[in-house]
Amino acid sequence: MGKVELLVDLQKYKNLLFQNIKKELTNWFESEEVETISSTEVYRFLHSLKGTAGTLNLEGLAQLARNLLAELDENSEYNWLKKDLKDYLFQLIELTYEYEHFEEEQTVNNREWHHDTQLVQIVDDDISMLILLKDVLEEKGLMVITNVDPEKAVEQYYELQPDCLIIDIHLPTKNGFEILNEIQQHNEKYFIPNIMISIDHDKETRIKAFQNGADDFISKPIEIDEFLVRIERHLQRKKIFDQSVLIDELTQVYNRRFLEDSYTKQLHDLNRTGQVFTICILDLDYFKKINDTYGHLTGDQVLSEFAQFLKNEVRKGDMVYRVGGEEFSIIFPRANDLEVQKCVTNMITRFSEKVFTHDEKKFSITFSAGVYTVSNSDTSLKDALREADVALYEAKRLGRARVELSHNSVDLYNKKVLHISVVDDDIIIRSILEKLLRGIQDERLDIKIGIYEDGATFLQSEYAQNGENHFLILDGMMPGMDGLEVLQAIKGGKYADRFTVLMLTGRKRDEDIASALKLGADDYVTKPFSTTELDARIKRLLKRVK
């Protein structure tokens, strides 16, 4: 009995230690009165931490404090700048978070997610079921995005192109059959497994599900072991299919995978002959407006006809690829940028004269392009596409419907501004997220980061009110104004459609998750989270705001 009481006491003092660490970090990094921090203060902080952490059996934290102390001089008169000290202590900040959140876990989550991790979309208004399925799938290393709103689910389906869709029949405003039927015409051009789940599993219901485009039917209550095996099987088939196909299903031009092979062959030709080649990136202007105004099926028609237009316009030997969304690429062998600029400019003129029709309404659309000539066989495809991308965004900035050449430089003025804000009352989490976000590299975006400890301060900030695209990472539980109130204020404001929101929520808070999704959150992550998991999820969601 004495041993149990000792463990309780230790946990109490561990919590007190974590609070003291946060208090000191807040004082150093977020107080306007503090400009620099003396080396003596830092030394005393680490010395105290070393002793206390060791006493409380937090040996990893104690050892890290020892290592950091070894690099300091107790009598130094050096004054640290806030940024430099935060970088110096970042490993300690991360370890404190892990001890605070993971020590009581039976196993630490070691998921290694990447931006290309397979994505599963679940649509179900039963929040408990939705959370359960998300948890068990993510334990298998998959990324899962959830929806309770059928309309929003359809929008996210088109935007994020999941690798598998799991959908319940009984949903508010629109049932699962209607959603499957709505996306079925789109799905005929893509291979995306659709799995229907329902408490109704009679023969008539199952047949109706398959008639509306379901690839599988799983009845509720769900046997989790069987569910996982069936979903993994569908995803395995999806992966094999994607790896074997070189033609984009919708547009019938080559896909990005074949672009990689073609680019390598062009480099070999450059190395052998010394003849340069040019890569061009083309992007339809205001394409989202087409989807929003006329629907995604009309958008698919535009993409398909644009691809065929490009194939008909290029020379024999030039190759057209779809690299994602409304973005295409063309490789022009043995041609320089000026030659390609002239050719693509004429193509823009001809395509702008093309008339599309939807329900007797006529519309036209243009495209912009960026061009880069590859003259060095050491240039990677990633670098070449980046250079062409920079030129493309210059064309967009200068008014669209034009071609611009790469000048081998990245000018921030040409980039699209994206605000990313973190609102969380925990300085440890704020510091970790700030470091993670500052490490995101994207040549297309001028990322501006804002860090806030409470919702009211964020809502009053210029970032929240300027009407520009915004990615918000929002803690659900905060003193004063909590995350749900902040979310409600944002989604009820005039710039609601400019915000993509990722909620951070505690475990076993089903009601908070339900409220967040119903208020318009785009995704949620439960604490504690791993930084690799969060990094991959953020990069996936960023596709929606580019």
Tens of pLDDT along 288-297?
A: 899 889 988 8
Same-domain pairing of 440 and 451: yes
Q: pLDDT category, 185, cuts 50, 70, 90?
A: low
Question: Residues 56, 83: one domain?
Answer: yes
Predicted local confidence at residue 341, as pLDDT = 94
108 in a structural domain: no
Are 227 and 260 contained in the same domain?
no
Residue 312 has pLDDT above 90, yes or no: yes
CATH number of the domain within which 324 lies = 3.30.70.270
Domain range holding 157? 119-244
- pLDDT, residue 205, reads 94
Whole-model pTM above 0.75? no
Question: Could you tell me if residue 86 is inside a domain?
Answer: yes
Are β-strands 254-255 and 216-219 bridged in parallel, bridged antiparallel, or unpaired? Answer: unpaired
Of 212, 244, 276, the residue that ends a domain is 244
- Provide mean pLDDT across the span 237-256: 85
**Is 221 part of a structural domain of the chain?**
yes
Reply yes or no on whether the pLDDT at 155 is more than 90: no
122 — pLDDT class (breaks 50, 70, 90): very high
Phi/psi of residue 216, nearest 5 degrees: -155, 160
* Confidence check: pLDDT of 210 > 80: yes
Q: What is the pLDDT of residue 98?
A: 81
Within this chain, do residues 443 and 508 fall inside the same structural domain, yes or no?
yes
Res. 410 pLDDT band, cuts 50 70 90: very low
- Residues 149, 59, single domain; the answer is no
Task: List, by residue number, the catalytic residues.
Answer: 326
**Phi, psi at residue 164, to the nearest 5°?**
-160, 140
What is the number of domains present in the chain? 4
Asked whether the predicted pLDDT for residue 4 surpasses 70, the reply is: no
Burial profile 314-338: b = 16 or more Cβ within 10 angstroms, e = fewer: beeebbbbbbebbbbbbbbbebbbe
Per the DSSP assignment, residues forming a β-bridge with 369 are: 282, 403
Looking at the fold, whether 75 and 210 belong to one and the same domain comes out as: no
Tokens of 499: 């915000």
Span 158-173, average pLDDT: 89
Query: Domain boundary at 77, 102, 127, which?
Result: 102
Task: Check whether residue 301 and residue 271 sit in a common domain.
Answer: yes
| pLDDT grade for 472, boundaries at 50, 70 and 90 | very high
